[in-house]
Chain A
Amino acid sequence: MIHGGHRLKIYTRVEHVLVALATLFLPAIFLLIYGSFAKSDAFVLASGLGISFARLLVGYAISLFVGLAIALLIGTNKAGEWLMPVFDVLQNVPSFALIPVFALLLGYSNTMVVIFAATSIVWPILFYALSALRTAHQEWDEAATIFGAVGWKRVWNYHLPLVFPAIVTGSIVGISIGWEAVIGLEIIGFHTGVGVFLDSASKQGDQTALFLGIVAILFLVVTINKLVWSPLLKHARLYAE
């Protein structure tokens, strides 16, 4: 009966899980069937999409950790306010202007695209979480203090639930920016990933492959939205007053 402060139940019925799994496999089946009709190599597209998605996921994981850590550091600490102008300036630097810098430091490697994606995704997560921490009711903060929420207990039982809806919203915005960063960078200077597939189709004038690539990305985005973000957004409503 005792639950953690940060309880998370997304799928409550077997039907939900079945629908989720169906949503996951439908795009793959579509790709195989359509790919064979279009005489395009569905495997090349699927593997490219998989590589891009993996890059995005690692970049997102780094962004989530870094964004949340910085938000907690400066959002719960008066001294942290001094760092705000620094992050404010940094987030205004156009990501693509940094590509030559990243290329110089890391080369066109997986590490480079992951770090580049992370630098794009981190801002909405950081600023949405920061806003949630700063606009929280003073009485919640005082209640947490009076009832003994200190140190990591405070982070786990008070700060994380408090910023949870903001993290979900920030992640949705951040991931969409992250897709742009990953695909854009793959088109510019990579040999693998869905960006390379699209670029190659465009250069060869293969409109079917181009259409297939875009539809595949759409399928994946919709799948992630249905599987992850929609249930999390619904769950986040519990956190509203």
Chain B
Amino acid sequence: MQNKPAIAVEGVSFRFADETKRAPLTLKDISFSVAHSEFVSIVGPSGCGKSTLLRLILDLQKPTSGSVEKNFTKSAMVFQGVATFPWLTVYENVAFGLRMQGMRDDTIASIVREKINEVGLRQNEGKHPRELSGGMRQRVGVARALAVSPDFLVMDEPFSSLDSITATALKNDILALWEKYRMTVLLVSHLISEAIELSDRIIVMGKHPGMIKKVIPIELPRPRNPRSSEFFKLLDEITALIDA
């Protein structure tokens, strides 16, 4: 399984269900693959179908045509918005996936505490999401995803609703956790600098219909300096691609 890519998307097109069957294609002929332990970002303008593509990969929606080959054992997702369950505490939210797996309570407790510590929420495990800031809620989402030990982690604009200081801190934590666990990561972002900072490769998408414009490898050494000339060069290249 390690010889094959973690995911291989082949000629995927997608059209939202429409009574008249005349809705335009949201995604057209998308093909790419992501290797195991690779960190790949998808960037593009709003409405280009980035989030839809993630949902097709995770079987939350079915492609109109094409296929997605999956060679991972466990996936998890960090959502853009409010996906923590309001009726559960931080601890219970993080434990959710483990409880669904039918794991023993003591095993769950040790995993959940470890993940809560890793995302810096040790003092807040008994709180409900509404008692937390946006950044803390997003950390709960990250801990919940990591708790199930995914070998394929999908993140849908996880920093978009956060202020820049919180986003930077969370970004650094995610990068450290990726370096620790080396899971395959597919990140959707509308912030190009964020994608350059984190990724091994960036898939640049265009819209109407959503399609891949170019796949750009990022070979800058980590940790990356967002003020370096190489960084700005990549930023200009990708911005020009999106604007074209």
Contacts and interface: CB of A to CB of B under 8 A. Distances in A.
A2 B100 contact: no
A2 B95 contact: yes
A116 to B, nearest CB: 34
A142 B78 CA distance: 11
Interface in A6-53: 6-7
B144 A2 contact: no
Contact of B76 (A146, A153, A161, A238): A146
A140 B79 CA distance: 9
B70 interface: no
Contacts, number: 80
A138 B133 CA distance: 21
A241 B96 contact: no
A147 interface: yes
A7 B84 CA distance: 16
Given A240-B130, A241-B129, A142 B96 contact: no
Interface residues of B, number: 33
B130 A241 contact: yes
Contacts of A150: 100
Interface string B114-145: 00000000000000111000000000000010
Contact of B86 (A145, A147, A148, A240): A240
Given A147-B148, A241-B129, A140 B100 contact: no
B148 to A, nearest CB: 7
Contacts of B88: 5, 161
B58 interface: yes
Interface in B77-106: 77, 79-89, 91-92, 95-97, 99-101, 105
Contacts of A5: 85, 87-88, 92, 96, 99
Contacts of A3: 89, 92
A239 interface: yes
Contact of B83 (A7, A139, A157): A139
B77 A157 contact: no
Contacts of B144: 143, 147
Interface residues of A, number: 27
B60 A157 contact: no
Interface string A196-224: 00000000000000000000000000000
B87 A161 contact: yes
Interface string A227-241: 000000000001111
Interface in A157-175: 157-158, 161-162, 164
Contacts of A153: 100
A142 B109 contact: no
A143 B100 contact: no
A164 B88 CA distance: 13
28 contacts: A2-B92, A2-B105, A3-B89, A3-B92, A5-B85, A5-B87, A5-B92, A137-B81, A137-B82, A139-B79, A140-B83, A140-B85, A143-B85, A146-B58, A146-B60, A146-B76, A149-B96, A149-B100, A150-B100, A153-B100, A161-B85, A161-B88, A238-B128, A240-B130, A241-B82, A241-B86, A241-B129, A241-B130
